[in-house]
Amino acid sequence: MKNDLPSQTEAKDALNAVHNIQQNLLIEYSPPVWLRLIMSLSYGAIFFGYGMTEHENIWALAMIVGAIIFTLSTALYYYLYKIQGIRIRIIPRSIKAEKINAYAGIGFAALGFLSRFLRTEMSLDWAPHICAATASIVMFWLLIKLPTGETVVKEN
Amino acid sequence: MPELDPIIHAPNRLRICAMLATSAELDFRLLKEQLDVSDSVLSKQLKALEDANYIEAKKRSYNGRPRTWVSLTDLGQSAFNNHVAALKSIINSD
């Protein structure tokens, strides 16, 4: 191969082919936006319910309903990919995806903690609203940018 | 400096590896649609990658119909990453 190195133009064309086919696959086969919206909102409801729960009040129910809807919509998300011929990766293999998932995991854990702590210990009643909204937005962003859990969708 | 992989360098095999790198597994049918090639052409390309232990193909039935799922092995992922790095280094070289 060393004696037969491609030119810069050929190398660029090959990289463009890699980029184009990956982006095409990620965009063309993405599940519908409404499903990703339901997943994000139900995920936020878990954080909101957790932050508002006190002595088993009605908000515990919101957390449970949010968890059920999130689980069902996630199952549908996986299923829609599978029937199209794509099995998405749960644990990422690329370093970039691993980093994004690690930061998101830490961020969600912090949001969960703050959602409850700020309201109960510091009397900041708006904390669950902000944390839930942030969790929903971050989850929606992850579902748009990292739909199969491995390769990032880039702007054209 | 990373070197180009002669097995992956063929255009269709490069595109197959690129697609497989996005997910855990892809269906044979989806690969065929995306590459716009015949069954035999795709099988030949997959065989070359399989012989190099870059991919794994597993047959599973779905709703009573057999489907072939193809995935990139760790070796294949590493080879693909190195190949892409080699292409980038060619572009960046003077």
- Give tens-digit pLDDT for A101-116: 999 999 999 999 999 9
In a domain, residue B19? The reply is yes
Expressed as residue numbers, the domain containing B69 is: 11-88
CA distance A35 to A18: 28
In a domain, residue B83? The reply is yes
CB contact under 8 A, A1 and B4: yes
Return the CATH number at B22. 1.10.10.10
B47 and chain A in contact, CB less than 8 A: no
Contacts of B93 (CB under 8 A, 6+ apart): A8
Residues facing residue B60 across a β-bridge: B67
In a domain, residue B94? The reply is no
In a domain, residue B5? The reply is no
CA distance B35 to A5: 25
In a domain, residue B93? The reply is no
pLDDT at B65 over 90: no
Residues facing residue B62 across a β-bridge: B65
Given this model, what pLDDT does residue B16 score?
97
In a domain, residue B2? The reply is no
In a domain, residue B38? The reply is yes
* Nearest-CB residue to A86 (from B21, B26, B90): B26
pLDDT at A63 over 70: yes
Which ipTM did the prediction report?
0.90
Give the nearest chain B residue to A90 (CA atoms): B24
From A70's Cα to the closest Cα of chain B, the distance in A is: 22
Given this model, what pLDDT does residue A43 score?
97
In a domain, residue B1? The reply is no
pTM of the model: 0.89
B56 and chain A in contact, CB less than 8 A: no
CA distance A56 to A107: 26
* Nearest-CB residue to A151 (from B22, B27, B87): B22
* Nearest-CB residue to B23 (from A6, A17, A89): A89
Taking Cα atoms as reference points, which of A103, A95, A90, A104 lies closest to residue A139? A104
In A, which residues are within 8 Å of B68 by CB distance?
Answer: none
pLDDT at A132 over 70: yes
Q: What is the count of structural domains for chain B?
A: 1
pLDDT at B92 over 90: no
CB contact under 8 A, B87 and A15: yes
